[in-house]
Structure 1
Amino acid sequence: MTIKDPMFELSRGAALVTGAAGGIGREIALGLARRGPGVVCIDRAGSDTRSLVEQIRREGGAAIACDADVTDEEAMAAAVAEGERSFGAIAYAVNAAGINIAAEALEITQAQWSQVVAVNMTGILTSCQAQARAMLRHGGGSIVNIASMSASIINHKQDQVAYYASKAGVKHMTKSLAAEWAERGIRVNCISPGYTITPMLKASEETLAGFRRMTPMGRLAEASEMVGPTVFLLSQASSYVTGHDLKIDGGYTAW
């Protein structure tokens, strides 16, 4: 007998995904659309969100593309408003926009540091603010931020201090927002991917082989493997979960 569990349905309203043109953001946007809600696909101008929207529509889903810089409060507010006009109340949001600049701590410039922190931390806060304001008008919602296993560890022989600090900030910010908004009906959690096959993962085959050796499961993640955990955290299946960091790292941080 097949059991369809309503606990994992996303039927309360529309969904919004930032960084939707990227590897993880794109897969999550597709995964959410396949579960019913209209999806607002947000990325900076020039990103390929249009092909994502076309794919969602070919599959029978509903989506729109919005150009917005996640650090721009007015742009994010406008994107949320456009999503509400198109699909109704925003009940689910995933913040996947992020960048990395690899640089040694003694060499990184303030401009580089500021750029990473602006997108990875300020952008998450700005996005969460715009999303939460909309959710509060309709009785609450659920937000998932994309952190990284690098929020909890320092990756072996990789000098990227700004990335580590910003992702640790996302993890702690998620806890702070969860504690502050829990009584107002908004849950906030984050997922922390390990090494995942995306355009951002630029490394030699030798380096990738090393990543696989250091991961207990012996392989890298597919971006699509971030969808299930995200759906769990957005849905009623996790109704008593907030402020949680869910590591999806093939066991990398277990040893």
Structure 2
Amino acid sequence: MDLFDLQGGIAIVTGAGSGIGRAIAIGLAEAGADIGCFGHASGDGLNETVEHIHAVGRRAIAIEGSVTSAEDLASAVRGIETELGALTIAVNNAGIGAGGAAETLARQSWQHVYDVNVTGVFLSCQAEARVMLLRGKGSIINIASMSGSIVNRDLKQADYNSSKAAVIHLSKSLAMEWVGRGVRVNSISPGYTLTPMNQRPEVAEQVKIFERDTPMGRLAEPEEMIGPAVFLASRAASFVTGIDLVVDGGFVCW
């Protein structure tokens, strides 16, 4: 359907080297957009993501940098606009997992989670909105987590959970700040997803518990985040801003 067609769209996807970020970057390209793939280093999978995008007939570039650096993000946006065109879509996916008993959690560990998961998302939104607001057009999608809305049973991760709650409310706050200026801001909250982190042999038993506790009886595939992202990026969501789209196989219902 034309409503979901992203032809002519120019996107940045942070954390595009693997997992959900890679899947969404490729999915946006399949829907017609050209993609700036942003991440730590080419060796972390960015070039492979770019190759996948080229294979579906779209343009893509790899850009190395950190979401904790406003300068890196501003440079990435400039590079994308120079090489691909005016930025219209942003998916801020870069983030880190974390955890540990709250009473012994080191301040440095707590701060690192917030630097990447919260400040990194804010700086990304800021860099992207600066060009989108000038044109009065754009869709920003922040990847949060169902852990921003619920507390995962038997997991000690107050740092991660609260950082993702911050991403959800940051997205709503920015959506309302920019609601009259043509830029929509929404978040997607995945449930347990079969990313490389959850495919490690040492977490195999834990993954079985995740599957048991998810009403649909399995983990999501990273590619199952493509549809929600394409929807929020497209004209199909032209009247949608400030929402948190939970994609969790029903987990938060139980």
Matched, 1:254 2:239: no
Q: Which amino acid aligns with 2:150?
A: I
Q: Which runs of 5+ in 1 are unaligned?
A: none
Separation of aligned partners in 1, 2:58 and 2:235: 21
Q: 2:11 aligns with which of 2, 8, 15?
A: 15
What does residue range 94-133 of structure 1 map to in structure 2 within 5 Å?
94-133=91-130
Greater alpha carbon shift after TM alignment, 194-203 vs 210-219: 194-203
Q: CA deviation digits over 1:191-250, x for unaligned, max 9?
A: 000000002335532221111111111111000000001111111101111000000000
Structure 2 partner of 1:70: 67
Q: Which amino acid aligns with 2:117?
A: N
Structure 2 partner of 1:27: 23
Q: 1 or 2, which has the higher helix percentage?
A: 2
Q: How many residues align?
A: 251
Structure 1 partner of 2:190: 193
What does residue range 38-53 of structure 1 map to in structure 2 within 5 Å?
38-45=34-41, 46-53=43-50
Separation of aligned partners in 1, 2:197 and 2:178: 32
* Secondary structure at the counterpart of residue 130 of structure 1: helix
What TM-score, normalized by structure 1, do the two folds share? 0.96
Separation of aligned partners in 2, 1:12 and 1:151: 33
Q: 1:153 aligns with which of 150, 155, 162?
A: 150
Q: CA deviation digits over 1:80-115, x for unaligned, max 9?
A: 000001111100000000001221101110110010
Shift of 1:57: 1.1
What TM-score, normalized by structure 2, do the two folds share? 0.96
Contact 1:178/1:242, CA 8 A, preserved across alignment: yes
- CA RMSD, 1 decimal: 1.1
